[in-house]
Chains A and B, each alone.
Chain A
Amino acid sequence: MNWLIEIVLYLLLLTTAFLALSVKDLLAAAAAATAFTLTMALLFISMGAIDVGFTEAVVGAGIVGVYFIAAVSQTSRRTRD
């Protein structure tokens, strides 16, 4: 049962990573990067590293996502390339 959850988490990891890199809307890219970090934290916890997963969830999903949004608010919302 545990490997089934991990496979779903890995698929979610790849999906959010691809979304964060490919989407043109920078706010959506920041949200996808935050979802990537949260999935990463869940994977760390499923591997037994509670402390690492907790730090990843707090810093990656809690603080860095907010910093991404603050940085997007200082520039244009869409990429030009």
Chain B
Amino acid sequence: MTSPSQSVIIIVAGRALAPLIQLFGIYVIIHGHYSPGGGFQGGALLAAGVILLRMTEGRCAAQSEISTEAAIPVASIGALIFAGTGLVTLAFGGHYMDYGVVPVPGIEEPMVRYYGILLVEFGIGLAVMTALVAIFDDMLDDPSPENGDVDAGKPAEDLKRP
């Protein structure tokens, strides 16, 4: 898991499946406000695509999609989009996340609500995707053999043993 897999089949299958999983995740986010799904499920699917690549090709794969250092800041930006959309409606005199009060020229009120929910779903998806990838990266961080268990120092060999 920390190093690339030995099997060609696993690497090729991971490379073929990851884009399809992420495409389905984007579909779930975009259609989340009038069908089952939404920001959380779509974000989890997007994270599953990245985690699949990192499991099959080692933890250094897919760093151009989400790098390990950038994951938590991008999650904060997603939470900011989620909360900021609600705060904008407060600034226009409505309740929190009452999107209808925002005056957008050329778009009537139902469509403003439609796009407001879409923006919130996008923020949730961004936050969930990067947070789940950050949790996975933190779980694979270098185990320290000096404190405690002897087995903790050699995780990769331990998994391969039948």
Question: Interface of A with B (CB < 8 Å)?
Answer: 27, 50-51, 54-55, 58-59, 62-63, 66-67, 69-77
Question: In the complex, are the beta carbons of B139 and A59 less than 8 A apart?
Answer: no
Question: In the complex, are the beta carbons of B44 and A51 less than 8 A apart?
Answer: no
Q: How many angstroms between the C-alpha atoms of A59 and B44 in the bound complex? A: 7
Partner of B158, one of A50, A54, A76: A76
Rounded to whole Å, the gap between the CB of A13 and the closest CB of chain B is 22
The answer to whether B10 has its CB under 8 Å from any CB of chain A is no
Q: How many angstroms between the C-alpha atoms of A42 and B143 in the bound complex? A: 37
Q: How many angstroms between the C-alpha atoms of A54 and B159 in the bound complex? A: 30
Q: How many angstroms between the C-alpha atoms of A54 and B36 in the bound complex? A: 8
Question: In the complex, are the beta carbons of B45 and A58 less than 8 A apart?
Answer: yes
Residue ID in chain B nearest A53 by CB atoms: B36
Rounded to whole Å, the gap between the CB of B35 and the closest CB of chain A is 9
Residues from chain A with Cβ under 8 Å of B36 in the complex: 50-51, 54
Residue ID in chain A nearest B37 by CB atoms: A54
Residues from chain A with Cβ under 8 Å of B152 in the complex: 74-75
- A-B pair count, CB < 8 Å, reads 60
Q: How many angstroms between the C-alpha atoms of A74 and B37 in the bound complex? A: 33
Partner of A74, one of B44, B47, B132, B143: B143
Question: In the complex, are the beta carbons of A71 and B45 less than 8 A apart?
Answer: no
Partner of B136, one of A27, A51, A66, A77: A66
Q: How many angstroms between the C-alpha atoms of A51 and B36 in the bound complex? A: 5
Partner of A77, one of B40, B48, B140, B158: B158
Given A75-B151, A76-B151, A67 contacting B41 (CB threshold 8 A): no
Question: In the complex, are the beta carbons of A70 and B139 less than 8 A apart?
Answer: yes
Q: How many angstroms between the C-alpha atoms of A47 and B6 in the bound complex? A: 42
Binary CB contact string for chain B from 127 to 159 against chain A (1 if under 8 A, 0 otherwise):
000001001100110010000010110011011
Residues from chain A with Cβ under 8 Å of B126 in the complex: none
> What are 12 A-B pairs at a CB distance below 8 A?
A58-B45, A59-B41, A63-B51, A66-B48, A69-B55, A70-B1, A70-B139, A73-B140, A73-B159, A74-B143, A74-B155, A76-B158
